[in-house]
Amino acid sequence: MTTQPAPRSVARAAARAARTVRTARTARAVLSCVLLGAVALTGATGCGGPSPASADGHKNAPAARKAAPEPTGSADLGRRITDYTAGITADGSYRVPTERERRAVAEGVRALLDGDRAAAARSLAGVGYAVRTLADSGGARYAEIADATREGEVRRGWGRVYADLRGPARWQVQVPHPSADQRTEQLGIGLLRGTPGGVLVLAGAHRAADSGAGPDAADVAHRRDSVFAAVSDTLADRRLPAVQVHGFADSSLPDHDVVVSPGSGEAGLPSARRLAAAYRAQGMRVCEVWERYCGRLEGRTNVEGEYAGEAGVPFLHVEHNRRVRDDDGLVAKAVRALVEIAKTWGAGR
DSSP assignment of 268-309 = THHHHHHHHHHHHHTT--EEETTTS--TT-S--S-HHHHHHH
pLDDT of 218 over the 90 cut? yes
| Pairing between β-strand 242-248 and β-strand 315-321 as defined by DSSP bridges | parallel
Q: List the beta bridge partners of residue 131.
A: 145
Q: What is the pTM of this model?
A: 0.79
Question: From CA 298, how far away is CA 317, in angstroms rounded?
Answer: 7
Q: By C-alpha distance, which of 344, 206, 336 is closest to 284?
A: 336
CB neighbours of residue 64 within 10 Å: 10
pLDDT value at residue 347: 85
The secondary element (H helix, E strand) that includes residue 226 is none
Task: State the Cα–Cα distance between residues 163 and 30, nearest whole angstrom.
Answer: 35
Please report which helix (H) or strand (E) contains residue 128, including its range: none
- What is the distance between the alpha carbons of residues 234 and 346, in angstroms, rounded to a whole number? 18
Whole-angstrom CA distances from 80 to 143, 149, 260, 263, 275 are: 13, 15, 28, 30, 28
Does pLDDT of 43 surpass 80? no
Tell me: pLDDT of 34 over 50.
Answer: no
The residue type at 132: R
What is the DSSP code string of 154-218?
HHH---EEEEE-SS---EEEEE--TTTSTTHHHHHHHHHHHSTTEEEEE--S-TT-B-SS-TTTT
Range 113-119, long-range pairs (CB < 8 A, 24+ positions): 113/163, 113/168, 113/169, 113/199, 113/238, 117/68, 118/64, 118/68
Do 226 and 220 touch, CB atoms closer than 8 A?
yes
- Residue 74's pLDDT is 72
Q: In which band, very low, low, confident or very high, does the pLDDT at 14 lie, cut at 50, 70 and 90?
A: very low
Pair 324, 258: CB distance under 8 Å = yes
User: What mean pLDDT value characterizes the chain?
Assistant: 84
The pLDDT score that the predictor gives to residue 68 is 35
